[in-house]
Amino acid sequence: MSLITSEALLLDVLDLHDRDRIVTFLTREHGKKKGVAKGARAKHSRFSGQLQPLSKVQVTWFEKEGRELVRISSVETVRPAHRLQEDLDGILLGSYLTDHLLEIAQENEPSDLFFRLLDSTLDALLAGVDRDLAARYFEVWILRLAGVFPSTQECPVCGRPFAGWATLPAQGETLLCLDCGQGGLIVRPETLELLRRIGRLSLPKAAEEPATPEALRQLEEVSARVRRHFLQRELRSYEVIQKTKAALD
C-alpha cells in the first residue's frame, strides 16, 4: 500500500452508505482517481466543508494495487469554488465542465493538460470572465486535447485555406471547404474566427474582444456535434442545460 499526496480538482462527490462519500478527483500526475472518504457524512468529519465539486485541493490517499477505489486520508482546500455555484447557471456550468472530464480523462494516466485546462477555466470564471465564452472555450479545447477537434485553417481534403466559410458534415469531426463538403452545418466566417482566436489565446485574452451571440451559438452547435460523434452520445449535463433553458424561455 502506498501513500500519495497531490494537488487535485474535485470532479464529483456521491454519498455512500450512511457515513461515507465517494470522491472523483483529477490530478496532474496520476490522472483521474476515485476514492472513499470514510466518515465524510458524519457531523464532525475531518472532511467537513472540504468536498465541494470544482474545488482545488491538496488530497492524500492510500492506494493498494488491484483495488478500484483508493482510501482518501485527508483533503485540504486550496481554492474554493462556491462563488461559481451560487446560482442555477453556475451550478449547471460547473456540472457541464466536470462531465467532460468524467467522460474523457483516463484513470491512472498523467493528465497535466486536462488539469491545466480545467484549472485555468475555473480561475477565469472566478475572476468574472463571461460564462458563455468560457464554456465555448473549454469545450473546444477539451476536444482538441482529446485529438478530435477539426482544423480551422485549411480543408483536409483539398488542402486549400478556408475562404471565410466551411462546412461540418452531418456525420464527422472534420471541417471541410464548401467545395469538398456535402451538406451538413455551414460554419460562418465569424464562427471560424472565434475558433481561431480561442486556439491561439488564453481565456482571459480571448474574452477581451466580445464575441457575437451568433458566433457563440454556432460554436456551441459545432462543438456539440463533434462531441456527439466522438462519444457516440450526448453528455447528460448538456441535455439538462438545454431542457432548463427551454423551460425558462
The distance between the two most distant Cα atoms of the chain, rounded to a whole number of Å, is: 66
> In the CATH hierarchy, which top-level class contains the domain 2-80?
mainly beta
**What single letter denotes the amino acid at residue 213?**
P
Show Cβ contacts of residue 111 under 8 Å, excluding neighbours closer than 6 positions. Answer: 26, 27, 28, 31, 32, 105
Give ranges for CATH 1.20.1440.120 in the chain: 129-248
Digits of tens for pLDDT over the chain (249 positions)? 789 999 999 999 999 888 999 999 999 999 999 999 999 998 888 898 899 999 999 999 999 887 889 999 999 999 999 899 899 999 999 999 999 999 999 988 999 999 999 999 999 999 999 999 999 999 999 999 999 988 888 999 999 999 889 999 987 788 999 998 877 899 999 999 999 999 999 999 999 999 999 999 999 999 999 999 999 999 999 999 999 988 887
* Separation between Cα atoms, residue 245 and residue 249, nearest integer Å: 6
Identify the CA nearest to 107 among candidates 35, 54, 34, 10. Answer: 34
44: which 3 cell numbers? Answer: 464532525
Give ranges for CATH 2.40.50.140 in the chain: 2-80
- In this structure, CATH architecture of domain 129-248: Up-down Bundle (1.20)
> What is the per-residue pLDDT for 127?
95
Identify the CA nearest to 29 among candidates 72, 59, 53. Answer: 59
pTM equals 0.93
147: which 3 cell numbers? Answer: 485529438
Cell 451550478 locates to 91
Identify the CA nearest to 23 among candidates 14, 5, 32, 156. Answer: 14
